[in-house]
């Protein structure tokens, strides 16, 4: 089991998006032209075979994972605890900033082994009375239900009000206070499928849509595409006239500065957690993930503080913070008590990767010195 868990973890972390048919066609045309020029004497059939052979070697071969009973158990051992940690971080962001928010209904798309349900119950257990878990794998749903019942097929579930479905609710009038998709967008076979699912999930959202993916460039890109689709797209038969805005982590709705940089980086965060205590899995771990929380309404200016996007580096008498600012730019700020006051300096020293930093404009913070002492 240990070897299978490690293999699945590596596979999920290194997974790329499926190649779109248009891109595959473009590459095939280019290869055919290149190979044809190299050997004009080739027959059409031989050239066609050479193109297919080259494509198999160069194009990422995406496969849909089919979770039977055994693979579902491996996934649980590999991802239940890390997924719980990442989603808990997202829920904590909402609860901390809006403590009065008490959701009653939640839908989890791609619910897997149920980590979202456990995290939501831990966060809002007293108010949530309906959890709808949607997953295409019947084996995964059976496993999630057994976990809720303490590992048996009978008895009362630990979390009441949980319903399992293999398909999204059909009625366009059904909305949920919180809608979650965690580590599921990369399981969809095409951009068209992702677009359709994201539109459906947003249409079913009455307050918050929470999207979580691996903290890789692929995961970040998926969330940025979803963000743009919701912010710029027009809802079909909208039930709620309130527009969308980014609740977290971005302090703006502008293009992501991480993607537009000369060397694009993934916007990711980290959450420490204690893993399921298997014999090979006893030390604390870190879950690295990308996050996007979209909400209905309009942003409050008080929450448009810069977001710390990298680990805070503490040095003697100064602190290095990398910030994503409300004006849509990244800033490397060096905070000192002499320049910024003891309160802001102390705040920087106790802040962590992913926190909001309580300044309103980048102009309040000077640029870093020419000689970056982070390297020292």
Please write the tens of the pLDDT for every residue from 170-227.
787 889 999 999 999 999 999 999 999 999 999 999 999 999 999 999 999 999 999 9
Report residue 257 as tokens: 């500065």
Global pTM? 0.90
Q: Kindly report, residue by residue over 324-348, the tens digit of the pLDDT.
A: 999 999 999 999 998 888 898 999 9
Q: What do you get for the CA distance between the two ends of the chain, in Å? A: 43
| Neighbour-count burial of 48, counting CB atoms closer than 10 A to its CB (0-12 exposed, 13-18 middle, 19+ buried) | middle
Q: Kindly report, residue by residue over 121-166, the tens digit of the pLDDT.
A: 999 988 999 999 999 999 999 999 999 998 877 788 999 999 999 9
Q: Choose among 151, 160, 85: nearest CA to 125.
A: 160
**Bridge-partner residues for 269, per DSSP?**
289
* 69-296, CATH topology level: Rossmann fold (3.40.50)
Q: Choose among 120, 123, 146: nearest CA to 132.
A: 120
Q: Are 172 and 237 a contacting pair, CB within 8 Å?
A: yes
Q: Domain ranges in the chain?
A: 2-58, 69-296, 305-375
Please provide residue 217's backbone torsions phi and psi, each rounded to the nearest 5 degrees. -60, -35
């Amino acid at each position: 089991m240990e070897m299978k868990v490690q293999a699945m973890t590596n596979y999920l972390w290194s997974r790329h998006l499926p190649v779109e048919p248009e891109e595959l066609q473009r590459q095939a045309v280019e290869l055919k032209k290149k190979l044809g020029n190299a050997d004009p004497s080739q027959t059409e059939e031989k050239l066609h075979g050479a193109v297919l052979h080259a494509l198999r070697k160069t194009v990422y071969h995406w496969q849909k994972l089919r979770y039977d009973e055994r693979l579902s158990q491996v996934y649980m051992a590999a991802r239940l605890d890390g997924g719980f940690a990442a989603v808990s971080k997202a829920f904590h962001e909402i609860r901390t900033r809006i403590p009065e928010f008490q959701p009653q209904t939640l839908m989890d798309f791609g619910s897997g082994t149920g980590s979202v349900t456990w995290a939501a119950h831990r966060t809002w257990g007293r108010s949530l009375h309906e959890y709808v878990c949607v997953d295409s794998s019947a084996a995964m749903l059976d496993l999630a239900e057994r976990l809720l019942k303490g590992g048996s097929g009978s008895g009362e579930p630990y979390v009441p009000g949980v319903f399992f479905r293999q398909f999204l609710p059909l009625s366009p009038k059904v909305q949920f206070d919180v809608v979650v998709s965690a580590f599921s967008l990369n399981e969809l076979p095409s951009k068209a499928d992702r677009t359709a699912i994201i539109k459906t999930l947003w249409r079913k959202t009455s307050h918050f849509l929470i999207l979580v993916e691996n903290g890789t460039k692929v995961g970040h890109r998926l969330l940025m595409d979803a963000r743009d689709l919701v912010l710029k797209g027009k809802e079909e038969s909208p039930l709620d006239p309130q527009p969308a805005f980014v609740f977290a982590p971005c302090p703006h709705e502008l293009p992501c500065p991480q993607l537009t940089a000369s060397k694009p980086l993934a916007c990711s965060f980290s959450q420490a957690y204690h893993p399921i205590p298997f014999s090979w899995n006893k030390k604390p771990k870190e879950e690295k993930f990308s996050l996007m929380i979209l909400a209905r309404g309009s942003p409050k200016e008080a929450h448009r503080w810069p977001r710390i996007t990298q680990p805070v580096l503490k040095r003697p008498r100064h602190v290095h913070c990398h910030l994503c600012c409300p004006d849509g730019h990244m800033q490397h700020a060096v905070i000192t008590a002499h320049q910024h006051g003891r309160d802001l300096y102390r705040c920087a020293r106790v802040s962590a990767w992913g926190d909001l930093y309580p300044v309103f404009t980048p102009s309040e913070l000077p640029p870093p010195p020419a000689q970056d002492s982070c390297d020292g």
